[in-house]
Amino acid sequence: MKLLLTGGCGFIGSAVVRHLLRETDHLVINIDKMTYAASEDALEIGRSHPRHILIRADIADARAMREAFEAHDPDAVMHLAAESHVDRSIDGPADFVQTNVVGTFTLLEAARRHYGALSPERQAVFRFHHVSTDEVFGALEPGDPPFTETTPYDPRSPYSATKAASDHLVRAWQHTYKLPTIVSNTCNNYGPWQFPEKLIPLVTLNALEGRDLPVYGDGSNMRDWLFVEDHAAALVRVLEQGVPGETYAIGGRQPRTNLQVVKAICAHLDQREPDPAGPRERLIRFVTDRPGHDFRYEIDPSLTEQALRWTAPHDFETGLARTIDWYLDNRSWWQALREARYAGQRLGTAMSVKEKAA
């Protein structure tokens, strides 16, 4: 199979690329815009693998997408490229509309044109797999049943609203144009190579450096967690065995409050690399909650588990230990990112002071 995959240098996308190259014989055509959160290093074996081709392009560029389909003639599409950080979507929603909505539309149109030119035999096996999030379903309260494939949409942030819009576009192209699409929704992922703005890497690296560990509100907001390599395996299973027109909810059955997650990170680091100043829980700081912060997300993956014979192999404790150990063993990667981040913050502060004085 020749698979056109978008966002393959991102956190989840790179895990999919690594899985495909290790476990299948598929050719991977990886389209990535290479924004701040993308990393060629995360491809690992993919950087020089003969079955991996990297194309640096924006999915919202119609000409680039048309040329990619014409040049590589893919048998399937897995669409992961997205802006995904909620806080960033609140500060700058335009980028999320452009990538998540316009980009998905542009990719769908390129795929529709390509699909229409295929032989009936190739059309029968072609798939467009769109990877989405549980945040499109809104928020759960204590005691509410977890999200399923049929939960009504109720997005609450610019990020989740743009992902919901992209989901609707994908399903509309299925019904209107008969493009064989599949949607999967997942919970919070964690694991190696995650950009250090998300909760688990941010807390891990702050704790290692003795910095404050910020926790929104009182830390009671709850998320379902899934180890990224487990998600990658599930996504490939959906692509290969999923039924067009269906939706698959992919979850790890590992709900935790944010405070539980932070304390678990502290405990593991205290065991692996004790801090002479004392247990790292002393660094926890509760900060003002962000606008529209959803209280709880949790997925019921029963349909996916039954239909595709898949369950997440890692429990949270095992996956978290592997993740933290990876960050301990790969300091050079994240230290460079952290140094650039804090240098930028210092520059921004200096410029603000200068502008105010003027």
Known catalytic residue at 109: no
Alpha carbon distance 282, 331 (integer Å): 23
What is the distance in angstroms between the CA of the first residue and the CA of the last residue of the chain? 61
Alpha carbon distance 48, 38 (integer Å): 17
Catalytically annotated residue among 58, 83, 159, 190: 159
| Count of Cβ atoms closer than 10 Å to residue 311 Cβ | 13
Catalytically annotated residue among 32, 83, 135, 298: 135
**CB–CB of 297/139 below 8 Å?**
yes
**CB–CB of 258/225 below 8 Å?**
no
Closest of 160, 149, 64 to residue 109, by C-alpha: 64
Catalytically annotated residue among 32, 58, 83, 134: 134
Assigned token pair, 133 = 């999030």
Alpha carbon distance 236, 258 (integer Å): 29
Pairing of strands 52-56, 188-190: unpaired
Known catalytic residue at 134: yes
Alpha carbon distance 44, 52 (integer Å): 11
| Count of Cβ atoms closer than 10 Å to residue 30 Cβ | 24
- What are the residue numbers of the active site? 134-135, 159
